[in-house]
């Protein structure tokens, strides 16, 4: 059997602890994981679908797997991924990412939360699983994830995520929940820069930023160390204008209460986004703090890169992989299913051929050569 196309998967996931009873397992754990990956790569969104794929493509799978006892039933897939230790499975995924991808230095790494809505069980009083994800904007891949008890606990999960990542030389962006002094310090300790959005959870800071930019408007930024950048994008029936003002003036930083407690704070930022839609005009004002120097064009690019996680990751998970419909509710099923989807997304993102991710999954379900090509990239 030629296992070269799946060598990286076997190397990184081959030593994961098997939670099943020793001596009573008909299917090797590695085979179950690889069939699940191949099935989801080929359009399966449920364990029933993965079983159907496996039985349909059993002869093809035998190029890489022994399959001594054939293809497991969908209940077996469900039971295994329910029992697998979620933290260990996640570590294996992150090891695979480090092994097969070269992370572009200087890029934006966006940390953002996502709720797996299908994991909520109202009858049992079980809340939906909430994950913090790390997204590499330039590479277009998921770097890792970590489960938290809810959005309010992202504050504790974010430093733990940073411990698992190598962000040195990169720019870490986080929405308002992560705008915390300890998190800013943690990012600098990891030799990375930060761009943090400021909202009402940091009420004094938010007010100080708003007041200073109001003053700057009054004096037209005269005799002030400041920069400005504007972009205009048109398409799909809408016009979007983004404007970014940055201030590095010492007087501005002195105006910020407790500014010295924000590690290496250099620049305060105001961003305005105006969207002209066919039926209305939307305007948003946002404030940020950053350890970067006041390059308005760079900082605007960083913010846009962070916003892109919604379209490039969250939207794709929900629409292409139907993640919100995944009713995995028991034990670790939801977290482990999310890891498999993230791994498959990373595979699909690296394929340079034209076509949407949905079309590539469909093609992989039909074309054995194309499916092998996707797996052979790593």
Tens of pLDDT, residue by residue, the chain (378 residues)? 445 678 899 999 999 999 988 878 889 999 999 999 999 999 999 999 999 999 999 999 999 999 999 999 999 999 999 999 999 999 999 999 999 988 888 899 999 988 876 666 666 666 777 889 999 998 899 999 988 865 557 788 899 899 989 899 999 999 988 999 999 999 999 999 999 999 988 999 999 999 999 999 999 999 999 999 999 998 777 899 999 999 999 999 999 999 999 999 999 999 999 999 888 999 999 999 999 999 999 999 999 999 888 888 989 999 999 887 776 667 788 899 999 999 999 999 999 999 999 999 999 999 999 999 999 888
**Residue that is written with structure tokens 């986004």 in the block:** 273
As a whole number of angstroms, the distance between CA 248 and CA 294 comes to 6
Neighbours of 325 (CB within 10 A): 11
Residue 235: phi, psi to the nearest 5?
Answer: 170, 155
Would the pTM of this model clear 0.85, i.e. be above it?
A: yes
Domain with CATH 3.90.350 in the chain: 98-319
> Hey, is 206 helix, strand or coil?
helix
- Identify the architecture of domain 98-319 in CATH: Alpha-Beta Complex (3.90)
280: tokens are 């209305």
As a whole number of angstroms, the distance between CA 166 and CA 70 comes to 40
């Amino acid at each position: 059997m030629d296992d070269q196309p799946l060598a990286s998967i076997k190397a990184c996931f081959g030593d994961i602890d098997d939670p099943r009873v020793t001596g009573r397992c008909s299917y090797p754990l590695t085979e179950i994981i690889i069939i699940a990956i191949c099935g989801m790569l080929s359009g399966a969104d449920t364990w029933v679908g993965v079983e159907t794929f496996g039985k349909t493509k059993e002869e093809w799978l035998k190029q890489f797997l022994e399959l001594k006892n054939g293809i497991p039933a969908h209940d077996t897939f469900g039971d295994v991924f329910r029992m697998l230790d979620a933290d260990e499975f996640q570590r294996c995924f992150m090891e695979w990412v480090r092994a097969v991808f070269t992370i572009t230095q200087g890029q934006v790494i966006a940390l953002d939360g996502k709720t797996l809505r299908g994991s909520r069980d109202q009858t049992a009083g079980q809340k939906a699983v909430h994950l913090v994800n790390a997204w590499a904007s330039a590479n277009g891949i998921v770097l890792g994830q970590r489960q938290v008890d809810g959005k309010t606990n992202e504050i504790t999960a974010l430093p733990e995520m940073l411990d698992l990542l190598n962000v040195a030389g990169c720019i870490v962006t986080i929405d308002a929940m992560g705008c915390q002094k300890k998190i800013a310090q943690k990012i600098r300790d990891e030799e990375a820069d930060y761009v943090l959005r400021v909202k009402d959870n940091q009420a004094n800071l938010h007010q100080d930023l708003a007041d200073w930019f109001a003053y700057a408007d009054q004096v037209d930024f005269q005799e002030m160390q400041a920069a400005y950048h504007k972009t205009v994008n048109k398409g799909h029936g809408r016009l979007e204008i983004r404007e970014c003002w940055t201030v590095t003036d010492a007087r501005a930083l002195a105006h910020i209460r407790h500014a010295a407690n924000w590690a290496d704070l250099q620049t305060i930022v105001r961003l305005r986004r105006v969207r002209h839609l066919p039926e209305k005009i939307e305007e948003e004002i946002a404030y940020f703090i950053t350890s970067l120097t006041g390059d308005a064009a760079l900082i605007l690019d960083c913010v846009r890169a962070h916003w892109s996680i919604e379209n490039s990751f969250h939207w794709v998970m929900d629409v292409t992989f139907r993640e919100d419909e995944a009713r995995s509710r028991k034990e670790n099923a939801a977290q482990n299913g999310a890891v498999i989807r993230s791994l498959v997304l990373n595979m699909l993102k690296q394929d340079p051929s034209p076509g949407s991710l949905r079309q590539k999954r469909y093609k992989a379900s039909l074309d054995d050569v194309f499916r092998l090509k996707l797996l052979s990239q790593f």
